[in-house]
Structure 1
Amino acid sequence: MVDTTPVPLRRLLLVDPCDECASLNTHLPAAGWKIQSVKLDQSSLPDSDLGMLRLHPEHLDDLNKVKALINRTGIQWVVAVPPSMLQLPVASRFIAEWFLDYHTLPFDTSRIHIALGRACGMAHLRRRHLHPATTREEFVFGDSEQARALQKLIARVANTDAPVLVRGESGSGKELIARSLHAQSLRRGAPFVAVNCGAIPDQLIQSELFGHEKGAFTGAHQRKIGRIEAADGGTLFLDEIGDLPLELQANLLRFLQEKQIERVGGHQTLTVDVRVLAATHVDLEAAIADGRFREDLYYRLNVLEVRTTPLRQRREDIIPMARHFAQLYMAEIGRRPRNFSAGAIQALLQHDWPGNARELANRVRRGMALADGREIEAADLGLAVSSTAATGTESLETSLLRAEGEALRAAISHNPGNMSKVAAQLGISRPTLYRLLRKHQIRRRAQK
């Protein structure tokens, strides 16, 4: 009996083809491939399942252009190369770093469709693993119960014009929350101006906030528009408000009350329409008691309050956030995306994160730069698996329980809202899955 099952169509993007590539157009369509040929500098690229670059000597003179193409498409790539180019160190390093596979020219037409089929399957697996279907906001804030509560609170207060005080530990994403409040507000089309009150010298901060006129003081050679005026119509974010000097606190309070400012050295009163968001990691109530912060300014700023949760208290967000940062820094570092090894994931989950999301971002950036293999290892992140786990002194029961919980969280992260897929990935039934969720006190997500 003849098998009439249709061959699934797979799309191959062929970049800068050569004479040897003509054989692909003859043999691959019968194996279910659609070939689309383009030039490297072509601005518009068709959707594809797999990319193939015919590496030419001139490509080696501008590898950044090839890297930009790979990053722009977001797909996995293989390379076609003459054997002589593999002897060049710059070419071999580039191929090992950026490509899923390579094929020497001329093509072995009897095997190429099998090799490309394997590469396409691997590309689909990597795309699922490296780019789980999660929105950017979920990546940024995570998907734990605390993170979802924070997202809902931000959505509720974003459309008001009332001041918001964002409180939390250093590095816990306070500016990110402020930017999200602005992005979801009616002022999102207007400027967002951020000021770190603790990073500006005391003698300059009044000029930075309120601006100055020409000749107002030595060195004032021309008029300067202050940060408050620059934010007119939009949002002003005052980070580390607890570090603002007392004399400037009085000026800021007057602005919040009257919505008017005067530039330093000027006499004209300017009306400015801004929404003020402030953030601090210090105990403002203690600062008020010590006389370091004005109580009346505190109540002006703290109309609405948003508190961040330390990263160590929402560990199920760590891995999704790490993967987000890896994608974010991929283009900056100029390397293809890497996944985290099992040891790196264990080290990430065991670390206490005193620097919160900022520390996580910095460690991922370091790992992206230092990783030599296909995966980012714990050592690349500057982390080590705990001595308990390393020496094997942890009891077998404890180790299995922890591994079981981590497997559950990872599967849920890869299949958000779909318990059937979570159970299938883990190889268990749905009743068993629900029993394990109760056992580990993991909240089941709503079906999407």
Structure 2
Amino acid sequence: MQATLNQGLIDYLGASPSPFHATASLAQRLRSGGYERLDERESWQLQAGGRYYVTRNDSSIIAFQLGTQPMSEQGIRLVGAHTDSPCLRVKPHPDLHSQGFWQLGVEVYGGALLAPWFDRDLSLAGRLTYSRDGHIESQLIDFRQAIATIPNLAIHLNREANQGWAINAQKELPPILAQVASQDASDFRALLAEQLSREHDLVADVVLDFELGFYDTQPASQIGLNGEFIAGARLDNLLSCYAGLQALLAATPEQSCMLVCTDHEEVGSSSCCGADGPFLEQVLRRILPEEDALQRTINRSLLISADNAHAVHPNYPEKHDGNHGPKINAGPVIKVNSNQRYATSSETAGFFRHLCLTEEVPVQSFVTRSDMGCGSTIGPITASRIGVRTVDIGLPTFAMHSIRELAGSQDLAHLVKVLTAFYRSAELP
């Protein structure tokens, strides 16, 4: 099972170079698992025992199973994650020319570690909007092959490089696409039209706009002398999306279950499809239009907010609290913060810990050092918007927000096992 899950994760990462592709890949897997697509613009005819999913902005997805037990008595078991990852997004008018090179202007999306982006084989993927025969349409595109790179400046010309230097995102990050004889030979929108034709056999009248990000073409892989690690891009947080999907597909029909994977977490979640937007609440109200039943259900429900945790790094152990340094391959981590950067309470942490003990899954705790700031997740945002009890958890990783992150090859199976047990659990606290 562990090997199958790890290879499935590697395949999912490869199919998901952008939040749009990550969502489309989840949708395809849900359809194969018997889930029916819903359209927010249409009336929903939901049936007891039905399995459904709905997307918004092509980059967020909510999948749910309506159990045979009444939701107002049993609640809903929710797992939340996010589809986006830090990257370099292409600007609306990106064409740049310098010294005979064609480059693209980029904007940093999220809190990216920038140094690892240099000297990588980069490709481009995302969503393209265009007009065709008088109609406005959108399509996902993925160049797949390496079409760009950001070369480092040689050490001979930057003797202070190994002492650290501030990277200027405006000046130093534009990737090189090609050498061109003149500026007239480069037109990014024409390049996108060619890719649309090549990939989808569609001829656009005009490329209207796009949301595209660069990504590293090196595929994810299992590495280490004994295969202890999974290395790859976008483990934060497609690792949790994939684990939640596997658990949901294994859910038994008795309980009502939901997987919520939303976009824009890395930039605050404030959007129509982000966790700080109305997406989840609106879906819940369509499932339970009667207010009293909705409120009773929410107050009997529980959300597991699954987002990666910081593993204690052997070169930087001082960055962790001495009693709260999660280890890779030692199980999922309960994340706690007294200032509500995480939404965990003693009740929800106790439930998750008990679930892990029952399933013989190792479990760890993380609290940031008292003299350091703490990141946050969709957990507090969803808890405050919906009023649902929440526990923040995640798998320990290295190099979070790098172009290539590292997780444990044993931990995915641990997380899938406990999330599957959660979806099947007869009682919530």
TM-score, normalized by the shorter chain, greater than 0.5: no
More helix by share: 1
Q: Relative contact order (C-alpha < 8 Å, sep 6+): which is higher?
A: 2
Structure number with bigger Rg: 1
TM-score w.r.t. length of structure 1: 0.23
TM-score w.r.t. length of structure 2: 0.24
